[in-house]
Each structure stands twice: as structure tokens, then as C-alpha cells.
A and B are shown apart, each in its own frame.
Chain A
Amino acid sequence: MKIISGKSITKQFGEGSERRTILDHISIDILQGEFVTIMGASGSGKSTLMYALSGMDYVNSGEVLFEGSELSKLKEEKLSDLRRARMGFVFQQPTLLKNLNLLDNIILPAVREKKLDRREIVVRAESLMDSVGILELSMRDITQVSGGQLQRAAICRALINSPSVIFGDEPTGALNSSSSQEIMNILLDINKHGTTVILVTHDAKVSAVAERIFFLSDGKIVSEMRLPPYEGTNVEDRVQRVSEEMMELGI
């Protein structure tokens, strides 16, 4: 079943003679429960595509269907509700509110819902934080923790409402390899429990765990690679395949 379906998405930036087409009639379908990555050179439009698919930014033409409803036709409030309840987003840099501590940042999307019980929200947040190893930091200000810990908190926030899709725009980009590995494990775990994961990455090792990999260049998807579902085995081999494809495409 398709959870997201992009049809002929076109996105342009700039005005007049400086107008450039970043996404050029891209069509892409993502199935429920898939683990997908998007790769491409820096500036190739990966983030832009991600924002378009999640409805964070408008597209100039084409349409994006999320669970069957077209995002550009939704009212802002509907779109916000959808974003809050069904999607989680982890940005390239940690985006947390600086006047709240980690726990409050994490529960923020959930407490917007008046129906939910606060105690249950906090319990859930704490179990998420525990699973990514930042539980003891829950009362810290965001200026008092490391970048990797912030990114883990951002993942917890993305997961607090149990979304059906989680978007990650190079969530491990700013991290060292061991932190990076931990975060990938978390994402794989979530994916096992049925959450669709869409990641943007440069890193062949990251892409190696995906089932499908899209390669972006000059505003188009120039290649799509399928791998068997990741079981924790054949890691070297998978990385090898991705790297070869990257070389071939000159990424």
C-alpha cells in the first residue's frame, strides 16, 4: 500500500533570470513499512524533495498524496494535524526549542492534543529516551548536552505520537560513527515495528540498511536500487553495492 505518492513534483527557487529548477517532474512512490533512502550530491535537492514529500514546503507543480489525501489541497490546520499525528521529522541539525529542557521538547507534539493523558505522555517519552540512552538527561537544558544527544532527543520527539512515517534529513550527518550507528539501530528497530522510514544520506553505510535507494541528480531520480530487507547480515556486500552505484553516478 502506498503511503506517500509524489506525482511529477516540480520545485523552483529564485526569481527571473536566477530561477532554477531543483526538482524536475519527479515521481516517487513509497510503500507502507518500507525503509527508503535518498542519495545525491550536495545541492542536488535531497532536502528539498524531503520537504516536498512531507508537506513542509509547497511545490510549484505536481502533487503529493499522503495516505490518499493531496497535501497542497489541505487547509493549514489539517496539514498541521497530519504532521503532528502521522509524521515525524528529524532535521539535518537538531531543531529543539531553546527555552525548554529535553523532556519538555520531546513531549511538545503530544501535549498539543488535549485528549491525551499527560502522565502517559511523560511515561512514553521517558521510555523512548531510555531506549536511545538519554533518560538521565531529561531535565537538562538543550545547551547542556552534546550534538548526538540532541539528535537523539529530536528522534524521540519525532516518535512521541507514534507516527506512520518518519523522515530523516541526514539525521546522523553531524555525528561520529558510533553515535551514528546507535541512531541507525533505533531507526531500524522502529521500522521493524511497522513505521515507514525515509532517510536522506551521503553515507553508503547508512543506505546499506535500506530496501530501496533513490539517487538524485540534476533534479531527477536517475537511479533506483532495490536491496533485500536488512537482517543484520551481508553488511559489507550491501555497502559495496551502494558504493559502486554511487561511483557510477559520480556522487
Chain B
Amino acid sequence: MYSRIIINDLKNSKLISVTTFLFVAASAMLLALAGMLFINLTGAIDGLMMVAKTPHFMQMHSGEVDLERLEIFSESNDAIQAFQVMEFVNFESWDMVVEGLPFDGGIQDNGFIKQGRRFDFLVNLEGEIIEPKNGEIYVPLSYMREGSIKEGESVALYGSVFTVAGFLRDSQMNSPLSSSKRFLVSDSDFETIKSMGKMEYLIEFRLQDLDDLRTFETEYIAAGLESNGPTLTYRLFRVINGLSDGLMIAVIVLVSFLVVVITFLCIRFTLLARMEDDYREIGVLKAVGFHNSDIIRLFLAKYTVITFLGCVFGYLASLMVKDSLLEDIKLFMGTYHQTGVEVFLGIISAVVIFVIVLAYVYHVLRRIRTVSVTESIRFGAVQEHSRMYRSFLMSKSRVLNSNVYLAIKDVLGRKKLYWTMMIILLISICIMTLPINLLSTISSDRFVSYMGIGKSDFRVDIQQTADIQQKADAIASVMENDSDILRYVVLTARSYVVLGDDGRDGRLRIEAGDHSVFPIMYSEGRMPTEPGDIALSAMNAEELGKRVGDKITVIIGGEAVQLTVCGLYSDITNGGRTAKAAFSDFDDTVMWSVISAEVQAGSNLGSIVSRYAETFSYAKVSNIEEYVQMTFGSTIVAIRRASNVGILVAFFISFLITLLFVKMLVSKDRYSIAIMKSIGYNSKDVCFQFIVRILLVAIAGIGLGILVSITMGEHIAGLMISSFGATSFSFEINGIFTYLVCPALMLIAVYTATLISSQSVKSINIATCIKE
């Protein structure tokens, strides 16, 4: 008996059933995908880092290395399991010739290396540790992706010729977000060419217990060992490896959450509308002695069928889509072999959706209990109206078009019904505009200033070389006389001893100079302007336990000087541990120097950059835009894809929901439509009323949605961005898309859907509907 009622009901409400099914399927698919991608990503990263034996702590260092002292330190420290110093030889892109052409190494710090002795192994695409033969070179995977170099090609480097034997996965530096790339050659080839490039040391440790990392870091700093370069940890490697795909997963989770919300709203309004339709009937059923539970069971049975089918379909769809999204993870991190876990997680996700959707249906259905028998039979669904609604009258208006009036009156009179619709459109516009504004924010040239890089045209880095101060002065004097340069600023960084509050001293790299020329964004406080000011990067502030206004004691020129923390900022450069101050200090211990410059409007930035790069071969000259492109390029691509999908999804959702909504409205309103027709309103009038009603709701929803997306969206996006290390953040709004294109697209979707659905008004027969 039940099955017959269910099948009949499904047949009678095809559109509702199909829409509910689609949304359930989409929710199940997205959640299952997120689950499967997540387990694949973490599994693959763990797998790679296990095979590669990624160091737990790594200090990059340029300059002399006292191996003996390091040896003694590591033997005396029980926490250390293994220790090694790797030599990393930097080469310039033009030093390497691929098939006769200079290598396009972008802005990365490229270098070669030999395979790790005890740990930190580079692995091939099969996930095995590579043992390169003489004459072979293995190239980082990202270059395979960019297509700048191919397997079998010959590579000339410092007079030696190598053959590209394959590509390598680097558990530390795979990601485009990490600025170095390691090429692998055999041990004996390495010895031949190592003297030709700039040597940098990777001082690496594996600990007995990863939990001891923090203590170990302070011990290392306290021991005053080699520290001329960034410090990186296991945790950071994991984060960097997972970031771009993690971001994708985060977006999928976010979207699936929104789709679940829309599914709920959709169920809510179809069910409520159905129940309102059946209000009398339900009352009558109750009056003749039906129990609430019987009525609930009937509806629940129908939704169980739809939800079950939706979840199964969604799960199957996720299996089909999965592989294309896994491509990147598989290439860079390798395959995760626990298919059992993956399948299980997918199924669990689908089951979760099944359970929460049904729970929600049950929740909505419980309203049936509140249908009072006598009331429903006497009045149908009664609604209280506000005084404003009641005083909005046709008879009081001189000019208002009667169709517009009827539409407005209807929307005001059934707010609850239209409310749901409005929320759905609100969410849709958010799905559209959020990724777009995230994209415009990340791709805006101001974005780097949230990351600790002032907005300039190009920067010259001088580090890991002798006489940095003199070299910086030389470049500065050239810039001074260069008519192409509008303005520039020299910042010099030195390493200072900081007196810790607990008596333990640490070291702090402080960038001194004029920070007002190319200012960065401070998440708190302001930039250093007085000699007694210091601004700390978020990571340093956290480690030192300092906030704005706190004092910090630094040894400058042999004297303890008290500085006041004036600001905090986010930084992705130099391992995130930097500080900025305005004092001047002329001793000769400069660690590095950065000269930022802005060119005259209209001059050719590219040629200026290459001119400086050629003239000052000891310095690293980078075009900021190119730098951003390289660092965030893949993220930008991912977000652009997400925003395209977002637009499509939102368009589709608004279209489908409006189609369904209007169809239901027409069927609900057929009695009043028949009345209007009987007094001489034609189908066009009624369709027009539907369009006005829906556009009113759409405009409200879109307007509020844009507001939500640019206020709350900023917070949500801020959370996502903070995974890059940026703490303060404000949206860079893409006005054309946010205020014009997206609303226009939504309105088109909603308008077309209304137009299509309201055509059924034509087939409403006055005689039949009035008799009901």
C-alpha cells in the first residue's frame, strides 16, 4: 500500500523529486569527494615524507660551517636521532643550458645536490629512492609540469654534460610555494661541479620524537650554531606540501556545506508548500482518526527513497570525478594505496548526508503535529498580517500598475514562503562572488603587502656573499642616477641577540631602514618610524610571546637597547621569522640587503630588471609581479577554476530552484489565478506578476547576498588566506563582477526560469479551478 502511494506521489511531483534528488546527490558527491581527496592527500604526503625521511629540523646556512662543533652538538643531544649536512650548490638559470638553450628556471633558487646520506632522500615517480648514475641528472617535478625540460634531453652545466634521466619528488621543495628547487646528480659528478656555484648548506636533523621539536629549536638557537639563513621544520614542509590541494579541498567542503544548506531549504519549502496544500486534508485525516505518525511515515517513506537514490548516485559520481582531481596529488605526492580506507570514507560521507537529510525531513514533518484539527478545516492556513501590509492598498494609489501591486502584495503576504527562496538566492550569489573576490584579492598587486612584501616593481636581494653593505651601496648609487627609477629604498638585515624574558637568549634578524617607502600591511599596530620601534612578524611575535606595546631588549653595538613593539605583520619571506626597525646601525655584520625600487610610469620594467640582473650578477633581481605569479600562480589557477565552477553551480542552482519554486507557486495559486482570469486578467498579466514577485525576491536576495559576501565572506576567506601566514586581510573587491556581472547572471537565470515555469499559467482552466 505504501509503495503504491509513494510511486504515485513521485509521479505527481516529478520536478520536486528530481530537484531534491539532484541536491542530495550533489551534497553526497561533494562530501564524499572531500573525504576521499583528504585521505589521499594526507596519505600520500605521509607516504612521501616517510620514504623520503624528511628532516624534522633544517637550518639553511651560507658561509662557513663548523662541522666539528655541529657533530659535538648532535652527539650531546639525546633528542637527535640522525644528523647530516647537505651541500646545495646554487646555479643561475643561464648557467644551465638545455638542448642548446638557456634554462628557464623562473624566479626559483635552483641548485643541485647529491642524494642524502642518512635521510632527506629524493624519490622518483615510482616512489623509490633515486640512485643517479654518472652523467645523469634528475629534475624537479614542477619543471616537468611547466614543460621547460623533458626526459632524455641533454643538459650542460659548468662544462659537464648530463642527460635528464627522470624527474624527482622532493618532500621538502615540491611546492611552487617553496622558493628553492633541488636537482639531483651522482656523487662523483657533484664533486666535479660543486666548486663552480654558490654553496649553501642544509643542516638537517631527525629527532627521536617529533614532539620535542620546539624544545630542540630553542636549544639549537641557544647553542649559537650556524644560522645564516631560514629555518624550516617538518610541520612547515607538511603544510607547504598540502597547501594548494588542501585549499581545493577546503573550497569543496565549503561548497558542499552550502549545497547541503540549499538542499535543506529546498526540502523545507517543498514540504511546507505541500503541507500547506494538504492542510485541510491533513486536518481531515486527523479528524477521522489518522495518527500523526501515519502521516509522517508516509512522507518520510517518500523522502527515504529519494535520499537513498541521491546518496548512491552521488557516491558513484564522486568515484568518477575523483581521479581528475587526484591527478596533481598523485603526480607530486604519489599514490595512496589504502583503497579500502578511501572507499570507506566515501561511503561514510554519503551515509552522513543520508542521515542528516532524513533527520531534517523528519524535523520539518514534525510540524504536522501542530496542525490543529478544527482550525485547519475552518480556515485553511491562516496568516497574521502587519498593519503596513494591510494599509498597502490599490485603492490608495493613483498610478501603481495593478499587476505590480498584486505581485508586491503577494510577496508581502507570504514572507515565509518567499524567505526560503531569498535565502537560496543569497547563498547562490555568495557562491558566485566569494571565489571571484578571493581571486581578485590574491591576484591584486597589493596582496603581497599582506605577506610581508612591500608593493614595489622589483627588488634586488643581496645575500650569501661578502661585502654586502658595499655592494648594496654600489647598487643604490646606480639607482640614484638612473632616470628610469622613480624611487627606491635600501633595507639591510642583521642578526641580533635578543635577551629572553626567561634568561635564555635568542637571535632575531632585523631589517633596518625606511619602511615607509614601500609599506606592508600591519595586522596590528603600525610600521616602525622611531629609532626605538620594532615590528615583528607574526611567527616571531608568537615565539617571543610579544604583543604591540611590549618591550623587547636587543644587543646593538654591544649595548642592550630596549625597543618597543610597534606593530605586527604577516610574512612569508625568510621562513616567516623577520623583524623590522627604523634605527640605523653601521657595523659590518649585514646578513642580507634588499633594495626595492619602483620604475617611472611607462618605462619597460622587464628590460630594467634584466639590466640590473646582468650588471649585478651577485645579486638576485626579481620582478615582483613575476614573483607573485610564481608563488601564487598555482593557487590563482585553482581559485580561478573554483570561481568558474562557482558561477556555473550558482547559475544552475538559481535556475533550477526558481523553476521548481515558480512551478509550485503556479500550482498552489491556481485558484487565485483562475479568479484573476475570470475577471479579465490574461495569462500574460499573471506571468508578469510572477516575474515581478520573483524579481523582488531575487533583488532582495542578491543585494543581501552581496553584502554578506563582502563582509562575512572577507572573514571566511581571511581564514583560508591565513593558512598562507597572512593574518590581516581585506577583500580586494572585483566591482564589475560583484556588482554587475554576477547579479546580472543571477537575474538572467531567475528571469528565464520564471518565464519558463510561469507558462503553465496558460493551461489553467478557469472552470475547473474555480469549482475546486
Contact = CB atoms under 8 A, between A and B. Distances in A.
A binds B: yes
A109 B401 CA distance: 12
A222 interface: no
A103 B393 contact: yes
A159 to B, nearest CB: 12
Contacts of A143: 379, 382
Given A51-B767, A118-B397, A56 B678 contact: yes
The DSSP consensus for interface residues of chain A is helix
A77 B382 CA distance: 34
A210 B402 CA distance: 37
B765 interface: yes
B395 A84 contact: no
A28 interface: no
Contacts of B364: none
Interface in A88-122: 89, 91, 95-101, 103-104, 107-109, 111-112, 114, 118-119, 122
A95 B403 CA distance: 18
A218 B344 CA distance: 70
B672 interface: yes
B682 A111 contact: no
Interface in B731-764: 762
25 contacts: A47-B767, A47-B771, A51-B766, A51-B767, A56-B766, A57-B765, A76-B683, A77-B684, A80-B682, A84-B681, A89-B679, A95-B674, A95-B675, A101-B390, A103-B395, A104-B394, A108-B394, A108-B676, A109-B679, A111-B402, A112-B680, A114-B401, A141-B390, A143-B382, A157-B679
B762 A76 contact: yes
A77 B682 CA distance: 6
B675 A97 contact: yes
A130 interface: no
Contacts of B406: 97
B478 interface: no
A146 to B, nearest CB: 14
B409 A99 contact: yes
B677 interface: yes
Contacts of A114: 401
Interface residues of B, number: 37
A83 B678 contact: yes
Given A112-B685, A118-B398, A96 B675 contact: yes
B672 A97 contact: yes
A155 interface: no
A160 to B, nearest CB: 9
B767 A100 contact: no
A104 B680 contact: no
A99 B410 contact: yes
B144 interface: no
Interface string B372-407: 000000010010000000100111011101110110
A109 B680 contact: yes
A119 B395 CA distance: 8
Contacts, number: 88
B718 interface: no
B413 interface: yes
Contacts of A141: 390
B394 A80 contact: no
Nearest to A109: B679
A125 B3 CA distance: 54
A164 B771 CA distance: 25
B770 interface: yes
Contacts of A79: 682
Interface of A: 47-48, 51, 56-57, 76-77, 79-85, 89, 91, 95-101, 103-104, 107-109, 111-112, 114, 118-119, 122, 125, 141, 143, 157, 161
Contacts of A100: 394, 409
B677 A80 contact: yes
B684 A84 contact: no
B279 to A, nearest CB: 14
Contacts of A103: 393, 395
Given A97-B672, A100-B409, A108 B395 contact: no
B160 to A, nearest CB: 87
Contacts of B682: 76-77, 79-81
A137 B413 CA distance: 21
Nearest to A169: B770
A234 to B, nearest CB: 36
A84 B402 contact: no
Nearest to B410: A99
Contact of A104 (B395, B678, B766): B395
Contacts of B674: 95
A77 B683 CA distance: 8
- 4 smallest CB-CB distances across A and B, nearest first, come from A84-B680, A80-B682, A57-B767, A51-B767
B394 A107 contact: yes
Contacts of A122: 395
B681 A80 contact: yes
A112 B686 CA distance: 12
Given A81-B680, A83-B680, A104 B765 contact: no
Nearest to A81: B680
A214 to B, nearest CB: 19
A83 B409 contact: no
Nearest to B391: A139
Contacts of B382: 143
B766 A108 contact: no
A185 to B, nearest CB: 24
B328 to A, nearest CB: 56
Contacts of B767: 47-48, 51, 56-57
Interface in B149-191: none
Contacts of B770: 91, 95
Nearest to A117: B398
A104 to B, nearest CB: 4
Interface string B503-523: 000000000000000000000
Contacts of A57: 765-768
Nearest to A79: B682
Contact of A108 (B402, B413, B683): B402
Contacts of B676: 97, 108
A51 B678 CA distance: 10
Interface in B711-728: none
A97 to B, nearest CB: 5
B120 to A, nearest CB: 75
A107 B395 contact: yes
Given A80-B681, A108-B402, A111-B402, 12 more contacts: A76-B683, A79-B682, A80-B682, A81-B682, A95-B675, A95-B678, A97-B675, A104-B393, A104-B394, A104-B395, A107-B394, A122-B395
